[in-house]
Amino acid sequence: MKFWGGIILFTLILNINGIALANEPTNSKIGITFYQNDAASQVVSMQKVAQPTKKSPKQTATPSTRPQYLPQTSEDIAMGMVWIGLGLICYILIKNGIKKILVSKRTTNEKVKGLLLVAFLVSFCWIATDVKASLKPLSNLENFQWANQAVTPAENTFIMHSGARTKVTPLKGDATTNRLSVDQKINVSQALVENVGFYQGKSVNLLVTLKRNKSNLKGGSLSFTKDYFLGIDIAGEVMVTYQFVDANQNPLTIKTAFNYFGLNSNKYIGYQDYNSVISAVYANNPTNIRYESENQWMYLKNTIVGIPWRDPRQSFEVVTKPISQVTFAVHNNDSTPSSLVYLTEFLARPESAPAYAESSDFNQANNGVYLAAQQTVPSTNSFTSEVSFNLEHVYNSEQYIPERIKVTNFDGKDVTQYFDWRIENQKVYIKTRPAATRAITDTTLHYKVYLKWLEAKKL
């Protein structure tokens, strides 16, 4: 009986890790559209165009036609019980077989038990080693780079924010303006988050779907509050889908990056269709993060316990290819809920993005007319930029002259004090002042050049 108890106890010890760790244009008298032939030059041009009189009909986002593969669930406890059952069955079969073979040699029962115990220990050690061996060093990834040897490309510096014009509309399940939640009663929740940022001059909306991945696991929640925007709390396992859409809810293709600074042993994250979604993965050197891939999913995991949350060895950045949606799963290994924070900082130094012109429509030609552009500014300790507006058409019209500028951030705060401006060669130049602060970084800047009406000298 002691021998059987020892076998069961040893198997439970091997599985204790599983038990303990459990985002109508109005009819106008004057229509002005601004465009940019070369984004890198950061020059904003303008021309007069006829404006449409109707809205385009709204359409829902087109669902993905890609095959859907469910992520692994890492059910350590359940698998542990399976191994216990298999181990006991093998023990009985092997014991009876060896007894028959060795009975003629008068081998004692204790020797048989000893031989069986050694075989049992060796087999389980091999199983445990094989599980660990499935995780590979992150540096083995074909598209991996050390963060200090890489940069985040300018086109990937789009980061979602909660700003002055951000609006959340609950659509399905347990959804409010502050969060989505799924549990053992509600498996799917969904919301539309409007105005989470601008990508190359286009306003970006986010259709968020939160699912509880397995019926035997608890769910979690996703936050829309400003201080914890797109942060995820996981009790069991959730699957998150971000669909990027325009104002008419048509798919919008963007490039972005996801930065996480606390992938500890309490949780792991997996990306679906990673070959078509992920362009590069960055991490600090050294890193505790390892990876494995299975059924079109790539999982990033950390098996080292006892490391502080913000330890640099637990940080990573995922840089995307052009995408209109991304699906990822977050699994909790702990007995208490874990969190995954959506950060606006970049692990690899971000490049500066150019400014892009915005279209503007006005009802009155002699009041409040301006040229506008926006620029995504990543989180950085230093930021200098000069944006220029081409006024050739303005001067040729003999109707306007530049009067003043105004610059606001994504929260709608006036940050004009951090900029100087001048007129030169039929262009307005707006340049950051040397004393510019973080009030103009980690945001989207909106530049406006207001025009003074000079009377209608030309029709």
pLDDT of 457 strictly over 70: no
Mean predicted confidence (pLDDT) in 195-222: 93
Q: What is the pLDDT of residue 195?
A: 98
pLDDT tens digit sequence for 299-315: 999 999 999 888 999 99
Closest by CA position to 412, among listed 211, 164, 177: 164
In whole angstroms, how far apart are CA 228 and each of 177, 179, 195, 343, 396?
13, 10, 17, 9, 49
Question: Has residue 283 been placed in a domain?
Answer: yes
Point out the domain boundary residue: 293, 324, 350. Answer: 350
**Whether 278 and 258 share a structural domain:** yes
Q: How far apart are CA 369 and CA 362, in angstroms?
A: 7
Q: What is the pLDDT of residue 217?
A: 86
In eight-state DSSP terms, residue 251 is B
**Whether 321 and 271 share a structural domain:** yes
Preceding amide of 354 cis, omega within 30: no
By CB neighbour count within 10 A (0-12 exposed, 13-18 middle, 19+ buried), where does 456 fall?
exposed
**Whether 344 and 441 share a structural domain:** no
Q: Which H/E stretch holds residue 447?
A: strand 443-453
**Whether 108 and 241 share a structural domain:** no
Q: Which residues contact 187 (CB under 8 A, 6 or more apart)?
A: 173, 211, 212, 215, 219
- Residue 42 phi, psi dihedral angles, 5° rounding: 55, 35
Mean predicted confidence (pLDDT) in 2-31: 42
Angle made by CA atoms 247, 251, 252, in degrees to the nearest 5: 75
Question: Has residue 54 been placed in a domain?
Answer: no
pLDDT of 256 strictly over 60: yes
Question: Has residue 7 been placed in a domain?
Answer: yes
pLDDT tens digit sequence for 427-441: 999 999 987 777 899
Domain housing 248: 136-350
Point out the domain boundary residue: 350, 372, 391. Answer: 350
**Whether 318 and 397 share a structural domain:** no
**Whether 285 and 340 share a structural domain:** yes
pLDDT of 70 strictly over 80: no
pLDDT of 25 strictly over 90: no
Q: How far apart are CA 419 and CA 447, in angstroms?
A: 10
pLDDT of 18 strictly over 70: no
Q: How far apart are CA 219 and CA 259, in angstroms?
A: 23
Q: Two tokens at 84?
A: 């216990």
**Whether 188 and 216 share a structural domain:** yes
Q: Two tokens at 21?
A: 């760790």
Mean predicted confidence (pLDDT) in 177-184: 97
Q: Which residues contact 422 (CB under 8 A, 6 or more apart)?
A: 428, 429
Q: How far apart are CA 361 and CA 375, in angstroms?
A: 20
Q: What is the pLDDT of residue 303?
A: 94
Q: Which residues contact 267 (CB under 8 A, 6 or more apart)?
A: 234, 330, 331, 332, 333, 334, 338, 340
**Whether 294 and 411 share a structural domain:** no
**Whether 318 and 364 share a structural domain:** no
Q: How far apart are CA 422 and CA 183, in angstroms?
A: 57
Under a CB-based contact definition with an 8 Å cutoff, are residues 184 and 433 in contact?
A: no
Closest by CA position to 319, among listed 273, 274, 280: 280
Chain mean position to CA 397 = 46
**Whether 141 and 276 share a structural domain:** yes
Question: Has residue 23 been placed in a domain?
Answer: no
Dihedral through CA 189, CA 194, CA 197, CA 201, nearest 10? 130
Q: Mean pLDDT check: name the lowest of 79-83, 214-218, 411-415.
A: 79-83
Question: Has residue 264 been placed in a domain?
Answer: yes
Q: What is the pLDDT of residue 188?
A: 97
Average model confidence (pLDDT) across the chain? 80
Tell whether pTM > 0.95.
Answer: no
Question: Has residue 79 been placed in a domain?
Answer: yes
Question: Has residue 61 been placed in a domain?
Answer: no
By CB neighbour count within 10 A (0-12 exposed, 13-18 middle, 19+ buried), where does 143 fall?
middle
Chain mean position to CA 350 = 16
Cβ atoms < 10 Å from Cβ of 282: 26
Question: Has residue 27 been placed in a domain?
Answer: no
Query: Considering its fold, how many domains does the chain have in total?
Result: 3
**Whether 374 and 324 share a structural domain:** no
Quickly state the pLDDT bin for 46 (edges 50, 70, 90): very low
In eight-state DSSP terms, residue 254 is B
- Residue 231 phi, psi dihedral angles, 5° rounding: -75, 145
In whole angstroms, how far apart are CA 160 and each of 105, 148, 231, 335, 376?
75, 24, 12, 31, 10
DSSP string, 331-379: EE-SSS-EEE--B---SSEEPPPPEEEE-EEES-TTSS-EEEEEEEE-S
Point out the domain boundary residue: 84, 105, 133. Answer: 133
**Whether 298 and 239 share a structural domain:** yes
DSSP string, 92-132: HHHHHHHHHHHGGGT--HHHHHHHHHHHHHHHHHHHHHHHH
Quickly state the pLDDT bin for 39 (edges 50, 70, 90): very low
